[in-house]
Chain A
Amino acid sequence: MLQVSDIDTYYGNIQALWGVSLRIDEAEIVALVGANGAGKTTLLNTVSGLLHPASGRIEFCGKRIDGMAAYAIVQLGMSHIPEGRRLFPDMSTRENLQLGAYPRRLWKHKEKTLEEVYKIFPILKEKESQLARTLSGGEQQMVAIGRGLMSMPRLCIIDEPSSGLAPVVVDEIFQIILRLRNEDIGIFLVEQNVQQTLEIADRAYVLENGRITLGGESKELLQQEVIRKAYLGL
């Protein structure tokens, strides 16, 4: 479904990604792990069109997207739930969610989609008229994920959903991610929480200093010495 081939991404003159290649198949959870500053967010932003690679190509559902604007890529069925949630702080939960269905073709059915999202996150229905900035961290992350689902994506890119959340809430978020995969949504997941992430992911890639250094089945990666040393502290 997503094919990234040999991309280089720069911030001005500084190169942040070096020849990155990876793929994600339908309804698969693929994790991307790496240290702070490795370039994970940069890679996600390049895929979703917020940044553009200087070279290489990105294909999504058979379409070349590496030159497309982010707003146009959303309409192809990719949704990017950004690092730090990035809700619209002065809008209600409900309005934040509605905006996830902004493309015209989705806007018509937004109330129906909203009901579906409330089924996944019943707490959000209770808080639907509360301003986003007054929600708790966990609730905000749920709004961010729910908002990403409002565009009925085939691929969901999620950047560090567990950051700043209590362990119980993190478990809840991971359960929801599993549930999305079972509803045939592909997931591209960036996480600091390596152990838990590799447990739910089908496959994973390791990014170091802007380069993919390792990739494979997550079960196998969990057994590998380098991973256990560097990311699991074993």
Chain B
Amino acid sequence: MIVRVLDIGIAGLLLGGIYALIAVGLTLQYGVARVLNIAHGEFIMIGAFITWSLYIIFGINPLLSLAICGPAIFTIGFLLYRTLFRRLRISSASPAAFEGSSMLACFGLLFIIQNLAILIWGADIKGYSYLAFPIRFWGQTFAANRLITLGFALAIGLIFYFFLTWSRLGKAIRAAAQDAAAAELMGINIDQVLALCFGFGALMAGLGGTLLSMSYKIQPTMGLEYTVIALIVIVLGGLGSIPGSFIGGLLLGLVGSIVTYIQPGLSLVAYYLLFMLLLLAKPTGILGK
């Protein structure tokens, strides 16, 4: 029994690490930059497919892909904000109007990115095998790639947390999230900071996609499911809270792993149920105010 609990717990963390990463990404985009990025999952999908292509075609180690996908997808996100979302923000009459129009723009992005991906890679499910050998500890066996995925997700989360807490730019990001006009009065270039946040959000999604592709099958339509998961996690963790998203991600991973143990295939249903219960019981989330 104890072994089984441990087994489910660790499996949950393995899944939760990725959820945490992508949810932190969405928090940066929605909590700070105010863009409810419905296309978040598409950046995950792109990260996964670039990694897959680099591995299959050029034999590039997926872990090395982190260093390729990361900057590439960051740049896409940054430029998207500088062009599309910045213009929408300036032309919107109010912050609420911006949230609406930017979400619609993200819907457009979702279809564009997804269809481009289908054109390039086809609609089939793909996958590759990388570090799939088993590792034994505590009497259990785990695939090496899943452990590496968890390790990297935790490390990326931790590095980003320290960056936000200690660095000059990190403080500017937190200030912009709490009061954008006051941050501007401190000499912070808000447009720049929001674009960086959107870029960092895309970066997290891209890295999440790379890590996902190491242990899960991928396809061009996979994005939406992860967008929904990330949305659930950021509400679970408390809107706008970065540590909350991280913890929420790990928690949702645990829930997923428990439900999968009882009845595989019901995990997404369980997430929705949890989400609705939460909205009724504590709409501000775990770490929300």
Q: Establish whether residues B174 and A50, one from each chain, have CB atoms under 8 Å apart when the complex forms.
A: no
Asked if A229 lies at the interface with its beta carbon under 8 angstroms from chain B, I say no
Across-interface contacts of B179 in A (CB, < 8 A): 86-89
Within residues 75 to 93 of chain A, which ones have a CB less than 8 A from any CB in chain B?
Answer: 75, 79-80, 82, 86-91
User: Which of B171, B178, B181, B183 has a CB less than 8 Å from the CB of A89?
Assistant: B178
- The residues in B between 200 and 258 inclusive whose CB is less than 8 angstroms from any CB of A are none
Known pairs A74-B186, A74-B187, A147-B186; A50 contacts B171 (CB<8 A): no
Query: Contact check: which of B175, B185, B189 meets A48 at CB < 8 Å?
Result: B185
A70–B174 CB distance below 8 A? no
Task: Quote the shortest CB–CB distance from A143 to chain B (angstroms).
Answer: 12
Whether A86 touches B168, Cβ cut-off 8 Å, given contacts A71-B187, A102-B188, is no
When each residue 150-193 of chain B gets 1 if its CB lies under 8 Å from chain A and 0 otherwise, what string results? 00000000000000000010011011001101111111111000
Indicate which residue in A79, A86, A95, A107 contacts B181 across the interface (CB closer than 8 Å).
Answer: A86
Look across to chain B and name the residue whose beta carbon is closest to the beta carbon of A106.
B187
B172 touching A88, Cβ below 8 Å: no
A45 to chain B, nearest CB (A): 9
Report yes or no: A75 in contact with B184, Cβ–Cβ below 8 A: no
Complex contacts, A9 vs chain B, CB 8 Å: none
Interface magnitude class on chain A: 20 to 34
Asked if B185 contacts A70 (CB within 8 A), the reply is: yes
Residues of B contacting A69 with CB < 8 Å?
A: 184, 189
Q: Could you tell me if B182 and A88 are in contact, using CB atoms closer than 8 angstroms?
A: yes
For A151, the chain B residues whose CB sits under 8 A away are 186-187
Contacts of B171 in A (CB 8 A): 91, 95, 98-99
Query: Do the beta carbons of B187 and A91 come within 8 Å of each other?
Result: no
A123-B88 Cα distance, complex, nearest whole Å: 44
Contact A71 B182, CB 8 Å, known A91-B175, A95-B171, A102-B168? no
Complex contact A74–B185 (CB within 8 A): yes
- Cβ contact within 8 Å between B185 and A88: no
**Within the complex, what minimum Cβ distance (angstroms) separates A174 from chain B?**
22
- Chain A residues, Cβ within 8 Å of B185: 48, 50, 70-71, 74, 79-80, 82, 86
Smallest CB separation, B163 vs chain A (Å): 15
Asked if B186 and A99 sit within 8 Å, CB to CB, the answer is yes
Assess the B174–A91 pair: CB atoms within 8 A: yes
Interface residue A216 (Cβ < 8 Å from any Cβ of B): no
Residues of B within 8 A of A75 (CB): 187
A82–B172 Cα distance when bound, in Å, is 18
Smallest beta-carbon distance B28→chain A, Å: 16
**Bound complex: CA A74 to CA B189 (Å):** 11
Considering only CB atoms, which chain A residue lies closest to B168 in the complex? Answer: A107
**Separation of A88 and B175 alpha carbons in the complex (Å):** 6
Known contacts A95-B171, A98-B171; is-contact A71 B184 (Cβ 8 Å): yes
With A88-B174, A88-B175 known as contacts, the answer to whether A102 contacts B187 (CB < 8 A) is yes
| Other A-B pairs, 5, CB within 8 Å; known A75-B187, A86-B182, A88-B175 | A69-B184, A90-B178, A99-B171, A100-B186, A107-B168
